[in-house]
Amino acid sequence: MTSANFEFIKALVYQSSGIVLGLHKKEMVYSRLSRRLRVLKLSDFDQYCDYLSNHKPEEFSHFINAITTNLTSFFRERHHFDFLKSTLIPRILSRSNNNKRIRIWSAGCSSGEEAYSIAMTLAPNFPTQKWDFKILATDLDSNMLAKAKTAVYSEQALQGIDPQQIRQGFNLNKRTKQYKVKPDIQNLVHFRRLNLLENWPMRGTFDAIFCRNVVIYFDNQTKNNLIRRYAQLLEPHGYLFLGHSETLSREISEFNPLGHTIYQRKE
């Protein structure tokens, strides 16, 4: 991979997804895209960059899927789920009896663990016979979304979860030793492919938005624009959850920080 190849790939990734690839990511890009060269039977990155330019409709999804990072786990950053229990659930339950609509967005949902964790945390309090409760889960990577929709996970993926929580949220396939999210939980989550930098089809507002370990890959302007768009889609006093290494810049005035990378939209 030449410097020109990397600059071409870097620019294309930024233009399409807002992800900033520093020079320290060159080896990672080389490793991940080398698989595409083997699949396409191309001999070098000059050929791959030409192929990508001339066959974008066919290749671009594979290209983005290879580049994006998908690291997630069930109940990751558990303090966020404790906050759902201690603060969000009572707040929703105290609302007017006429308002039975609940919407949560998991933006950058990867293979689904975050969205299902949210569902498992909230579902016991909001039976669907009485509540209009839905979780939107979006990601750029179509491969991860396909995995998420199956709702099937290995025993290793469930390590660290309380055994009672596993019994409540999963069914074990004794033959394959794999766990499948129970249907009443799975049905709450609706997966869609979405590029966060493009137009969003959603029109209604959300009670909470999870966007964890996503904006860390963006430059400051892209991050700020995205955070302001989230504010427009949140209910007044709705909550935004970021990853443990992410913060809002001083230029963002739409939120009050609550600690532990939890932010509340100002009225």
Q: Where are the domains of the chain?
A: 3-67, 78-265
Predicted pLDDT at 124: 95
Q: Is the dihedral of CA 196, 69, 119, 239 positive or negative?
A: negative
Catalytic residue among 32, 76, 228, 229: 32
User: Residues with Cβ < 8 Å from 103, sequence gap 6 or more?
Assistant: 134, 135, 136, 204, 205, 206, 207
Predicted pLDDT at 218: 87
Structure tokens at 6: 């990397």
Predicted pLDDT at 18: 77
Predicted pLDDT at 103: 98
DSSP secondary structure of 17-65? H-B---GGGHHHHHHHHHHHHHHHT-SSHHHHHHHHHH-HHHHHHHHHH
Structure tokens at 43: 């001999």
DSSP secondary structure of 107-128? ET-TTSHHHHHHHHHHGGGS-T
- Helices 56-67 and 45-54: crossing angle in degrees, nearest 10, is 120
Catalytic residue among 44, 82, 139, 175: 139
Give the CATH number of domain 3-67. 1.10.155.10
What residues in the chain have per-residue pLDDT under 70? 69-70
32 part of the active site: yes
Predicted pLDDT at 221: 92
Say which CATH class 78-265 falls into: alpha beta
Could you tell me the pTM of the whole model?
Answer: 0.86
% pLDDT > 70, the chain? 99
- CA–CA separation, 218 and 246 (whole Å): 11
Q: Which of 247, 265, 245, 246 is nearest to 255 (CA)?
A: 265
132 part of the active site: no
